[in-house]
Amino acid sequence: MSDTSPQSHPQSSAAAGAGILPCQSIEDLVAQAAISTQTPWDADQVQPASLDLRLGARVWRVRASFLPRVGRRVLERLADVSMHELDLTKGVVLEKGCVYIAELQERLALPPGVSARGNPKSSTGRVDVFVRLLTDGQPAFDNVAEGYEGPLYLEIAPQTFSVLVRSGTRLAQLRLKRGTPPLLSVRSVGVDLTQAVAGFRGRRHAGVVDLDKEDGHDPHDYWEPLEPRHGELLLDPGEFYILASKDAVQIPVLEAAEMTPIDPSVGEFRVHYAGFFDPGFGTAETDSVGARGVLEVRSHETPFLLEDGQTVARLVFEPLTARPTRLYGEDGSHYQRQGLKLSKHFKAWT
């Protein structure tokens, strides 16, 4: 871990209109102690329009998911549902099919007018680990109220693979907003089923995935390749799939996008657990033209037949308050020019 703190930018967009805060404004909030941490910051923790969140020292196995009522703290509610406490500093295997609540290292003291929203990191969603942000007194997942002051917690529910995590593991990210950003556009996302291998299905009885180990797992041990017939693919209930978008995705440098996780109008399945796209993704400025969106798909109670090009999700675009001083992938990214791609934890499929 690096002890380098994010740099302050006093002339940032803090006084600008409604929008998503870029990296330099997030760094200003860090400098003002509106965002603090228990340990030194990682040098790459601030992304172009989001902040990576890190697991703290403790995680609790709970018997049920929950939300704190208004006026109640997460730790108070944990006393009712906790089964046992685990020490993340030694590394912990989180078992699939179980629910956990972890404390995060970061803490917020947001100024008036600034709110936030949590979301899984892309690599988290691609291994079918469902995570949601919890805050004290907030009866809704992922949404952080304007001016919130207090700790952050993460609900973690591995679905397909058991995973090894430890203090400092990054499973989620935070997007900060000033005011209520206007909705700029909504664009449909179709699925590509034209390739010989058009996707992957998670194996039910695979080993543990170490979420801090990059390029360290043989994908054949965890995934089955999918070969569509006549441009169609049958989704089985309860199975997890990795697919790719039909068209390239481009996020303008003054915008950020979120892929809507559930839309009943497009089918009985959930698409894209990890929904944040940073400014510059898929653009010439970041040498990533042609990058596709990777789709994390889980079918619901009934089988569903997908066709090539079928709309499976929608991208919602919002403005930034200013151009970020860093763009997506400028220093390299695992998903820079991606097509169909598994998470960074796996070696390339051959």
More confident residue, 308 or 70: 308
Domain holding 50, by residue range, is: 19-178
- Statement to judge: residues 143 and 172 lie in one domain: yes
Residue 139 in contact with residue 69, Cβ under 8 Å?
Answer: yes
More confident residue, 105 or 339: 105
Mean pLDDT of 290-301: 85
Mean pLDDT of 232-256: 93
More confident residue, 10 or 44: 44
Structure tokens, 19: 């929008």
Q: What is the CATH number of the domain that holds 162?
A: 2.70.40.10
Cα-Cα end-to-end distance for the chain:
33
Can you give the pLDDT at residue 268?
Answer: 61
Can you give the pLDDT at residue 336?
Answer: 56
H helices of 82-187, in order, are 122-125
Reported as a pLDDT band with limits 50, 70 and 90, residue 293 is: confident
- Statement to judge: residues 69 and 136 lie in one domain: yes
- Please report, as a single letter, which amino acid is at residue 70: V
For the entire predicted model, the pTM comes to 0.90
Distance set, CA 91 to CA 20, 59, 127, 165, 334 (Å): 34, 11, 18, 6, 24
Q: Domain count for the chain, please give it.
A: 2
- Statement to judge: residues 227 and 122 lie in one domain: no
Residue 243 in contact with residue 293, Cβ under 8 Å?
Answer: no
Reported as a pLDDT band with limits 50, 70 and 90, residue 327 is: confident
Q: Has residue 15 got a pLDDT over 50?
A: no
Can you give the pLDDT at residue 71?
Answer: 87
Percent of the chain with pLDDT over 90: 71
Reported as a pLDDT band with limits 50, 70 and 90, residue 269 is: low
- Statement to judge: residues 98 and 194 lie in one domain: no
Q: Has residue 134 got a pLDDT over 90?
A: yes
Can you give the pLDDT at residue 8?
Answer: 38
Mean pLDDT of 262-266: 61
Can you give the pLDDT at residue 299?
Answer: 81
Q: Has residue 13 got a pLDDT over 70?
A: no
Average pLDDT, the chain: 88
Mean pLDDT of 75-98: 95
Q: Which of 251, 213, 230 is nearest to 305 (CA)?
A: 230
Can you give the pLDDT at residue 174?
Answer: 96
Q: Which of 119, 174, 168, 121 is nearest to 148 (CA)?
A: 174
Q: Has residue 31 got a pLDDT over 90?
A: yes
Residue 155 in contact with residue 134, Cβ under 8 Å?
Answer: yes
- Statement to judge: residues 250 and 127 lie in one domain: no
Mean pLDDT of 52-58: 97
Residue 181 in contact with residue 20, Cβ under 8 Å?
Answer: yes
Model confidence over 169-228: pLDDT tens digits? 999 999 999 999 999 999 989 999 999 999 999 998 999 999 999 999 999 999 999 999
Residue 24 CB partners (closer than 8 Å, separation 6+):
9, 12, 13, 322, 324, 325
Can you give the pLDDT at residue 9?
Answer: 38
Torsion over CA: 52, 116, 140, 266 (sign) = negative
Model confidence over 103-119: pLDDT tens digits? 999 999 999 999 999 99
Q: Which of 300, 318, 181 is nearest to 259 (CA)?
A: 318
Q: Has residue 5 got a pLDDT over 60?
A: no
Distance set, CA 197 to CA 190, 229, 291, 349 (Å): 17, 11, 17, 10
Mean pLDDT of 74-96: 95
Is 193 within the bounds of a domain? yes
- Statement to judge: residues 88 and 152 lie in one domain: yes
- Statement to judge: residues 148 and 202 lie in one domain: no
Distance set, CA 336 to CA 178, 333, 340 (Å): 28, 5, 12
Residues for the chain: how many in total?
350
- Statement to judge: residues 232 and 265 lie in one domain: yes
- Statement to judge: residues 157 and 197 lie in one domain: no
- Statement to judge: residues 36 and 140 lie in one domain: yes
Can you give the pLDDT at residue 261?
Answer: 59
